[in-house]
Amino acid sequence: MSTEFIWQLPTAGDGRYAEATRLRRGERSGQQRPPFTDGVTDPRGNRFNYFDYAHQVARAADISGFDGLRIRHDFEGDDSWIIAGYLARGTRHIRLLTEFEASWGSSVYAAKNAVSFQRAANGRFAWQLVQGGDEASRRQHGDNLPQGEVLARIDEFITVARGVQTSAPFSFKGRYFEVLDGGFRGPLAGNPLPPVYLSGEGAEALALSARQADVHVFDAAPLELIRAGVAALHQAGSNGRQVAAGLRIDVVARETQEEAERDALRYREQTGAGTALPALDADRYWDGYATARSGARGALVGSYEQVIDALAAYAEAGVSSFLLGAEPALEEAYRIGEYVLPALRARLAKAEQQAA
C-alpha cells in the first residue's frame, strides 16, 4: 500500500496553545454552568459543544491533506462509532479509522453497521480492533473474558464479520461467536469488510495480524525496535498475505529544535510530569512523552526538518501507515499538514522513484 498519514482525534481531552491541563474543548458540564468553569475552555456557551470541536478537528485533517482520522476508543468518553458517524457527512476525503473492542457485542451486528456506514460514507470507514485494558478495567464495563483469550475473540470476531458480509449462507461455530445459515442478502450482500487495523506485541499478536489485518499498528518506539518489529511481522505472514506496518506516534514539530524542545518541556511541566529534557538522539525520539494523555508510547520532538527525517527513516524501515497525534489537535493538524506532510511525501515519492 502507499504511505498514508492519519491524524488522531482527541477523545479524552485536548488543550490549547501553552495550556496543557486536562480539558475538553467545547465540552459543557452536566449542570450547564457558564463558560470557563471546571473542564470548560470555550467561551461560546451552549451553542458550541465537544462534537462541534471534533468536527473542527476532522475538517482540519481533511483540508490539511491527511488520509484519515483515528477515533480513539475511550472508556470515559463518547462512543467512537457515534463520533465517526457524526463526522462522516462533514468530511470529504479522509478515512474514519474507528477504534473499538470485540466486546462491543455481536460481530454480525457490527458487520451490518459497517456495511451501512460504508454505503453512507462512500467506503471511508475502517476498523481498529484493540485488546483494551487489563481484566479489572474491562470488568468495569461488563467484559469478563480472561486476558489470555482476548486475541482469540478478536480472531473469531473478524472471521464472522467477514463471513456474513461476503457469503450467504454462512455458518460458523466457535468459542465466542456462532452463526447458522447467516450472511447478508440484498443490497448489504457482497460488500467487503472495512480495512482492519490491529495492534499488539508478541508472536501471537503478530500472527493474528498476519491472518486477519490489513495494517498492524506498532506503538511508538525507537527506530531500530520498529525495524525489528516490521521484520517479525513479515516473517509471521503466511499464504502470501501482505500486511502493512503502521506506527502510532506523537509529534512536536516547530521551526527550530530549540522551539520544539521549549514547547515540549512546557507541556510536560503543565501536566505535572516534570521539566527534564531527556537525551534525544539524532532520531529525536522521546519515550513516554504524553502517553497518559494521547495513548502513544512516545513522540518525535524537533524542527520540521528533523521530524521529516525521522518519519522518513521509519518509512525506510517498512512503515507505510503513520498514525500521528499532537496537542492541541486542531491547530497542530494545520501545522503538520502544512510544514511536514508535503515535504515528507515529496521525499518518499523521490525515494520510491529511485528504488524503481
Domains and CATH numbers, the chain: 4-93+195-249+319-342 (3.20.20.30)
Question: Which residue in this structure is represented by grid cell 505472514?
Answer: 237
Q: 47 or 102: which carries more pLDDT confidence?
A: 102
Region 5-23 average pLDDT: 72
Q: How confident is the model at residue 178 (pLDDT cuts 50, 70, 90)?
A: very high
Question: Which residue in this structure is represented by grid cell 468495569?
Answer: 140
Residue 34 has a pLDDT of: 46
Q: How confident is the model at residue 74 (pLDDT cuts 50, 70, 90)?
A: confident
Question: Which residue in this structure is represented by grid cell 470485540?
Answer: 102
Q: How confident is the model at residue 133 (pLDDT cuts 50, 70, 90)?
A: confident
Contact assessment for residue 24 and residue 78, using Cβ atoms and an 8 Å cutoff: no
Q: How far apart are the first and last CA of the chain?
A: 15
Tell me, yes or no, if the pTM score tops 0.85.
yes
Contact assessment for residue 321 and residue 1, using Cβ atoms and an 8 Å cutoff: yes
Q: What is the DSSP letter of 149?
A: G
Please say if the pLDDT value at position 286 is more than 90: yes
Q: 262 or 134: which carries more pLDDT confidence?
A: 262
Residue 43 has a pLDDT of: 57
Contact assessment for residue 351 and residue 34, using Cβ atoms and an 8 Å cutoff: no
Please give the share of the chain, as a percent, with pLDDT higher than 70. 89
Q: How confident is the model at residue 33 (pLDDT cuts 50, 70, 90)?
A: low
Q: Where are the alpha helices (DSSP H) in the chain?
A: 50-63, 80-88, 107-121, 135-139, 150-166, 203-212, 223-236, 257-270, 291-294, 304-316, 329-339, 341-355
Contact assessment for residue 56 and residue 74, using Cβ atoms and an 8 Å cutoff: no
Region 238-246 average pLDDT: 85
Residue 35 has a pLDDT of: 47
Region 19-40 average pLDDT: 56
Q: 138 or 124: which carries more pLDDT confidence?
A: 124
Cell representation of residue 48: 458550541
If you average pLDDT over every residue of the chain, what do you get?
A: 89
Strand segments (E) across 12-124: 68-71, 95-101
Please say if the pLDDT value at position 305 is more than 80: yes
Contact assessment for residue 164 and residue 179, using Cβ atoms and an 8 Å cutoff: yes
Contact assessment for residue 247 and residue 313, using Cβ atoms and an 8 Å cutoff: no
Please say if the pLDDT value at position 108 is more than 70: yes
pLDDT per position as a tens digit, 181-198: 999 999 898 888 899 999
